[in-house]
């Protein structure tokens, strides 16, 4: 029987008097790779933020184990890696300093950090301040956290944006490895992925609007 890590229970989201999704229900089990789909404005980012505990639903709840994430926030956040649409890096810190800081805050592994930088093709830029790097490079600083993550649940908003084909392939392989080890990933993407379609669970918010 699948091991449930997270459950979206009867989630309703309303923005500017418009229902984005209503009474949305799904389970996130160990090994799941879930792609949230829908046109712009259907609530993909809003759903990810609700699942990450950064926004509250109009109705419904997100359950971690048997408890609402609002009741076990510290425990949940130790088991969650969230990367939003913005890179969330500090411009005055170098790529290496940003990564080290993020990992230490999360309680993730800080060993082999140079390899994580290399995995996202930032070798040679590791000591450059983030303010002097491109938007794509800043995005890759944030993504490097995934190679060091000890969290079971990853929630990722457009993780493939601003990375090249080799970066996409490496990230896709990391997704496969993480789910094979019992982790779960919920993500959005406008890009066509090379991951076999049968490995991905698709949730289309347009079907729920």
61-99, pLDDT tens digit by residue? 999 988 999 999 999 999 999 999 888 899 999 999 999
Q: Give the domain ranges of the chain.
A: 1-79+152-209, 88-150
The model's pTM: 0.94
Per-residue pLDDT for 197 more than 80? no
Per-residue pLDDT for 192 more than 80? no
- Taking the CB of residue 133, how many other CB atoms lie within 10 A of it? 21
CATH of 1-79+152-209, one of 1.10.4030.10, 3.40.50.740, 1.10.443.10, 3.40.50.300: 3.40.50.300
State the average pLDDT over residues 16-36.
Answer: 95
């Amino acid at each position: 029987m699948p091991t449930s890590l997270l459950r979206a229970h009867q989630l309703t989201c309303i923005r500017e008097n418009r229902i984005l999704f209503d009474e949305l229900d799904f389970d996130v089990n160990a090994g799941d790779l879930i792609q949230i789909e829908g046109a712009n404005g259907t609530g993909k980012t809003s759903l990810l933020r609700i699942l990450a505990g950064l926004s509250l639903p109009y109705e419904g709840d997100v359950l971690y184990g048997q408890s609402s994430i609002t009741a076990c926030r510290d425990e949940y956040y130790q088991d969650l890696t969230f990367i939003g649409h913005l890179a969330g890096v500090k411009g005055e810190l170098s790529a290496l300093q940003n990564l080290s800081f993020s990992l230490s805050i999360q309680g993730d592994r800080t060993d082999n950090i140079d390899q994580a930088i290399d995995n996202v093709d930032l070798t040679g830029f590791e000591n450059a301040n983030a303010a002097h790097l491109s938007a794509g490079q800043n995005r890759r600083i944030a993504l490097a956290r995934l190679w060091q993550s000890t969290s079971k649940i990853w929630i990722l908003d457009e993780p493939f944006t601003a990375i090249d084909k080799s970066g996409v392939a490496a990230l896709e392989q990391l997704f496969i490895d993480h789910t094979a080890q019992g982790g779960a990933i919920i993500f959005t993407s406008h890009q066509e992925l090379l991951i076999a379609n049968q490995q991905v669970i698709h949730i289309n918010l347009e079907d729920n609007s």
